[in-house]
């Protein structure tokens, strides 16, 4: 009986891992559904795919490994205090946190998602919107350059490199990643806002049906939600790494500060939500052919033809001078001259 009580006490500790696992898995499932629907719409219905579609598939693959690193970490002790983590799982937990640090912060996951959106903007603005095209190229350059630099900084964050994931290797020098994350946050938020603002002048000049306008507003609301998530993530990250080091040492390594797994759990969870919801936002504009095929009432107005005919009738009644000048029938085609008959013929019964 005492042994059962001791086992119950061993498992009776605060654990954020199940919540992190559930939220990460749910958002990954939604992102997977939207990416699959996008490919069905583009490859199956429209039968035309582009670089933005392939880049989105790449973004989904990176998001998959990102989410898996978080979920595996949740099974190894992510979301627990240091005293409640099994010592045998500590090494694998550090590896998961290292993989996450490479795949996330303004790195491959967000870089691929934003690149897909900006390539989509470039396709829309081809030979039409020069300003949108130039701005999209500028933002795309910032995203790729910043993402590439930060990716290599996270890969080579420690000297030697293996010290970042191997607890048995002593690090000579490590980059303080809190400083890097805080410095990269303005770039991330700025590019998010730029991607939201770039198509606004084009979209406001378009005349869309009410239902399509509603879908457009909801998509932009999700985009704003992604930006808010980034701010929330930075808040939890500051709690995870509770000080900004002035010197680089092994104690400043990502995941080695006290209770990092407990404090960083929500930061990692919101990071996965940000990436997965961003993928969903990027896929929504490409789903119109699929929605028209399976749920046409969601986009098309069933009274659109009637309303358009009514407007045409009313406008014709309001401008009689215009209708008087317009022909009501097609002009008669010239016929070849007929030869007069040599003999009188009986009258035709079918035609006059």
Residue 319, domain member (yes or no): no
Rounded to 5 degrees, φ, ψ at 173 are -155, 140
pLDDT at 29: 96
State how far the alpha carbon of 54 is from the alpha carbons of 49, 59, 109, 195, 312, in Å.
Answer: 8, 9, 14, 19, 44
Alpha-carbon distance of 58 to 32, in angstroms, equals: 12
Residue 19, domain member (yes or no): yes
Q: Record the pTM.
A: 0.76
Neighbour tally for 3: CB within 10 Å: 7
> Directed axis angle between helix 210-240 and helix 177-197, to 10°?
170
pLDDT at 351: 46
Mean pLDDT by 10 residues, the chain (352 residues): 46 85 96 96 91 94 94 91 85 86 77 91 80 91 90 85 82 72 80 87 74 76 81 75 46 60 85 91 89 78 47 43 41 47 50 45
Angle ∠(241,192,263) on CA atoms, nearest 5: 20
- For residues 119 and 50, the answer to whether their CB atoms sit within 8 Å is yes
Burial class (CB in 10 A: 0-12, 13-18, 19+), 81: middle
State how far the alpha carbon of 246 is from the alpha carbons of 120, 176, 316, in Å.
Answer: 42, 9, 77
Residue 314, domain member (yes or no): no
Angle ∠(162,156,244) on CA atoms, nearest 5: 100
pLDDT at 314: 44
Alpha-carbon distance of 148 to 153, in angstroms, equals: 9
Neighbour tally for 298: CB within 10 Å: 13
Residue 320, domain member (yes or no): no
pLDDT at 324: 40
CATH number, position 203: 1.20.1070
pLDDT at 313: 42
Alpha-carbon distance of 230 to 194, in angstroms, equals: 15
Alpha-carbon distance of 257 to 52, in angstroms, equals: 39
Alpha-carbon distance of 229 to 267, in angstroms, equals: 10
Alpha-carbon distance of 330 to 191, in angstroms, equals: 56
Residue 301, domain member (yes or no): no
Domain that holds residue 212: 14-290
* DSSP letter assigned to residue 80: S
Domain count, the chain: 1
- For residues 154 and 168, the answer to whether their CB atoms sit within 8 Å is no
pLDDT at 210: 74
Residue 160, domain member (yes or no): yes
Residue 225: strand, helix, or coil? helix
β-bridge pairing 173-174 and 158-159? antiparallel
Residue 138, domain member (yes or no): yes
Angle ∠(113,118,121) on CA atoms, nearest 5: 135
- Rg, Å, the chain Cα set: 31
pLDDT at 141: 94
Rounded to 5 degrees, φ, ψ at 138 are -65, -45
197: left (phi over 0), alpha (psi -120 to 50) or beta: alpha
Residue 328, domain member (yes or no): no
What long-range pairs does 168-171 form, CB within 8 A, spacing at least 24?
170/250, 171/249, 171/250, 171/253
């Amino acid at each position: 009986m005492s042994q059962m009580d001791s086992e119950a006490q061993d498992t009776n500790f605060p654990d954020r891992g199940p919540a992190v696992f559930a939220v990460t898995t749910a958002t990954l499932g939604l992102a997977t559904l939207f990416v699959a629907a996008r490919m069905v719409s583009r490859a199956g219905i429209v039968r035309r795919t582009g670089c933005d579609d392939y880049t989105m598939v790449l973004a989904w693959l990176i998001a998959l490994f990102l989410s898996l690193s978080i979920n595996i970490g949740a099974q190894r002790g992510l979301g627990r205090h240091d005293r409640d983590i099994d010592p045998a799982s500590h090494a694998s937990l550090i590896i998961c946190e290292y993989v996450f640090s490479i795949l996330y912060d303004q790195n491959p996951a967000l870089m691929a998602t934003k690149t897909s959106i900006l390539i989509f903007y470039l396709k829309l603005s081809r030979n039409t919107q020069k300003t949108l095209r130039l701005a999209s190229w500028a933002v795309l350059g910032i995203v790729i350059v910043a993402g590439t630099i930060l990716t290599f900084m996270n890969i080579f964050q420690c000297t030697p490199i293996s010290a970042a994931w191997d607890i048995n290797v002593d690090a000579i020098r490590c980059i303080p990643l809190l400083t890097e994350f805080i410095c990269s946050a303005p770039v991330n938020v700025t590019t998010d806002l730029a991607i939201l603002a770039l198509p606004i002048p084009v979209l406001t000049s378009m005349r869309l049906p009410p239902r399509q306008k509603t879908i457009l507003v909801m998509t932009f609301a999700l985009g704003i939600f992604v930006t808010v998530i980034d701010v929330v993530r930075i808040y939890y990250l500051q709690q995870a790494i509770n000080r900004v080091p002035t010197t680089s040492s092994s104690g400043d390594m990502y995941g080695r500060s006290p209770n990092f797994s407990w404090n960083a759990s929500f930061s990692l969870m919101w990071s996965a939500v940000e990436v997965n919801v961003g993928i969903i936002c990027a896929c929504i504009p490409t789903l119109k052919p699929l929605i028209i095929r399976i749920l046409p009432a969601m986009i098309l107005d069933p009274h659109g033809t009637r309303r358009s005919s009514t407007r045409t009738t009313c406008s014709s009644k309001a401008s009689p001078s215009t209708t008087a000048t317009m022909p009501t029938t097609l002009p008669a085609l010239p016929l070849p001259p007929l030869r007069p008959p040599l003999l009188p013929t009986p009258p035709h019964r079918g035609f006059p």
